[in-house]
Amino acid sequence: MITSMGRTAGFGTAAAVTRACFIALRSSPPGGPARWARHNYAGRSVELYAGPATAVGSALAAGRVHPAAAVAVAVAGACGAYDDVAGAGDPRRGFRAHLGALRGGEVTNGAVKLFGIAAAGLVAGAVLKERPVDRLLAGVVIAGTAHLVNLVDVRPGRAAGAVLALGVPGVLRGGDAGQLSAVAMGAVAAVLADDLGERAMIGDTGAHALGATLGTAIALGNGRAGLAVHAAALVAATAFGDKISRAARTLGRTAE
């Protein structure tokens, strides 16, 4: 009963805070509406308000479960926000492109995001787990899940759908993992209609924050064996996604 109430409270808090932030940003956008406008895959103009709103809602609700979760979510969201602003118009996609630029002495928005979220994941993992191996695996899972949710954010509702699908097993598990999973699902639910209706997008800000929330839930809900399986799957998914991204860029240049 207490566990169920915790999940309900996590979902409700995240949803309420996210929606309130979304409405506040849309009513009075800092810097004016033009600063928050982007074009989606179909060329339609959409708003970025859903990103910061889900990040704030997730971080505040996650903090009620565990302070380390709040830090990981907030940092992941901040790194995503930096990419949403500084990375606008940057044609480079995938870790290999940004790491290649870093070897050449250029610190790209992607590199900042990669190392920033990795550091946040490792710090959170060090707090959540006791043994060094478990801490490392937890860090990989937290950062990897943040990047995975962003990786699938290529069409309206894709990232939101991934969060809902990944959140269900965690909610069923219960405990702190269940509460954090409910937090991610609540934040997504608050902006889902706007996302699917192509009125708003969660962007890198929201995708990374939501992914970090789920990653922390996975870290809390699994022992070493479970963490190892999740970490391996996330590394494989990231490598595959990077390969697909590079192939898409190659096809795009060929078409030109």
DSSP labels, 177-226: HHHHHHHHHHHHHHHHHHHHTTSB--HHHHHHHHHHHHHHHHHHH--HHH
Q: How far apart are CA 61 and CA 205, in angstroms?
A: 16
Tell me how far apart the alpha carbons of residues 146 and 158 are, in angstroms, rounded to a whole number: 14
Q: Extract the tokens encoding 80.
A: 């995503």
- Mean pLDDT calculated for residue range 10-18: 97
The pLDDT of residue 101 is 53
| Alpha-carbon span 173 to 186, nearest angstrom | 17
pLDDT attached to residue 255: 33
**Residue holding tokens 């192939």?**
247
DSSP state for residue 235 in the 8-state scheme: H
Categorize the per-residue pLDDT at 97 as very low, low, confident or very high, splitting at 50, 70 and 90: low
Summarize pLDDT for 148-177 with one digit per residue, the tens.
999 888 889 999 999 999 999 999 888 999
Q: Which two tokens stand for residue 144?
A: 């990897």
Residue 238 phi, psi (nearest 5)? -65, -45
* Count of C-beta atoms within a 10 Å radius of residue 112: 17
Q: What is the pLDDT of residue 238?
A: 80
Q: How far is Cα of residue 8 from the mean position of the Cα atoms in its chain?
A: 21
Q: Mean of the per-residue pLDDT values for the chain?
A: 87
Average pLDDT over residues 105-122: 81
Could you tell me which residues are beta bridge partners of residue 37?
47
Nearby residues of 83 by Cβ (< 8 Å), 6 or more positions away: 109, 110, 112, 113, 204
Q: pLDDT of 28-80, one tens digit each?
A: 999 899 889 988 888 889 999 999 999 999 999 999 999 999 999 999 999 99
Q: Mean pLDDT throughout 10-34?
A: 95
**Total Cβ atoms within 10 A of residue 252:** 10
Residues 167 and 185: beta-carbon distance below 8 Å:
yes
